[in-house]
Amino acid sequence: MQITLMGFMFLLVSALLGYIYSPHLDSAPPRWVHFAHGLLLFLYQTFDAVDGKQARRTNSSSPLGELFDHGCDALACTFESLAFGSTAMCGRGTFWWWLISAITFYGATWEHILGASITTTSGSTITKLINSKPATVTPTSLITYPLPSILIPISSYFTNTLILPVINGPTEGLMIIYICHFFTAIVGAEWWAQPFGKSLPFLSWLPYLEGIPTFKAVLFLMIAFGVTPTVTCKCAVLLSLFGGQHYFIVTCSVTNVYKVVKARNGSMPLALAMLYPFVVLVGGVLMWDYLSPSDIMGRYPHLVVIGTGLTFGYLVGRMILAHLCDEPKGLKTGMCMSLVYLPLAIANVLASRLNDGVPLLDERLVLLGYCAFSVALYLHFATSVIHEITNALGIYCFRITRKEA
């Protein structure tokens, strides 16, 4: 676990570099920063994989290791999105890159939680979740491999199996992100800001995309050919570009969950209830931004993404804990605790409609409060769970040796 934590620190450094050299994620940082982003992401992936190897080698796998691994991966969605936002100069669009990765990861967790093994589409078993560190869908890979994540974990929660394609995010997907960072170190971040038709002339024939910034065009293409087919589970013709595997994964995820729920005489609405907190979280933040008189996503992208990302991490952690404790399937009251701040923030911006566009409290202070609330909630959850699991199993968090009886 300590190896995974060390790897996670590389992503914190990467996000910090992005903030220092591009506070609003809309200006070009020095080219060495892009190279650093790629290198730090590679180190994160390597340390995460090595930790799994170490756990199997020392036979020290535990439920705490699974929770720790998934928790770091969920938070990595946030910090790698910020790093990529600085590389591509996404500005307020950074939130949408995070959302793509979060949707994918949350669904992957939903499916994974129900599973005891991870398999590829070829059917080969990779690892048993109980006895080894799970090969989860790495959050950063979800930036380039959108959507299946939210439905993969959720599906695995119910089916006892996490299905990954032969070419998947944790390996090939991360390589694409490395290439993006290293490529930007060569050509400069301005490449992402110039018109799509100029950046990729061989794709200039695509309608409506030629004149918009490259990073927006790529985002639209990912949504159109990855997210939309995955959500609607229609139009298999779109599988050939960007999101075909995700369509397969998510369709299978929903289908597998449905079959398992029906076989157990369960309730599909109850199974889907675990999606509601995530939907409310995203909807609440988008409503806050829409009503905001000060453009919170444009002026404070780091605060919005970090606050929302930590809340997302709490939801993922709570779902995994429910799996480890074999709790009844359905909506968990604790998950809703993470959403109590959003109504206050929305009420604050609604008050501005009655006060000549001036909210009751400065939105920067409200955002800082949002981040502080999310940090406090997540730290309380993490420390409480670590304390209880280590005491119950008689183990240490960062040591292999067992506690003396």
- Kindly list the catalytic residues: 70
Backbone angles phi, psi at 128, to 5 degrees: -90, 130
Q: Please name every residue paired with 195 in a beta bridge, in sequence order, or none if there are none.
A: 213
Pair 111, 158: CB distance under 8 Å: yes
Pair 41, 107: CB distance under 8 Å: no
3-state secondary structure the chain: CHHHHHHHHHHHHHHHHHHHHCCCCCCCCCHHHHHHHHHHHHHHHHHHHHHHHHHHHHCCCCHHHHHHHHHHHHHHHHHHHHHHHHHHCCHHHHHHHHHHHHHHHHHHHHHHHCCCEEEECCCCEEEECCCCCCCCCCCCHHHHCCCHHHHHHHHHHHHCEEEECCCCHHHHHHHHHHHHHHHHHHHCCHHHHCEHHHHCHHHCCCCCCCCCEHHHHHHHHHHHHHHHHHHHCCCHHHHHCCCHHHHHHHHHHHHHHHHHHHHCCCCHHHHHHHHHHHHHHHHHHHHHHHHCCCCHHHHCHHHHHHHHHHHHHHHHHHHHHHHHCCCCCCCCHHHHHHHCHHHHHHHHHHHHCCCCCCCCCCHHHHHHHHHHHHHHHHHHHHHHHHHHHHHHHCECCCCCCECCC
Neighbours of 195 (CB within 10 A): 15
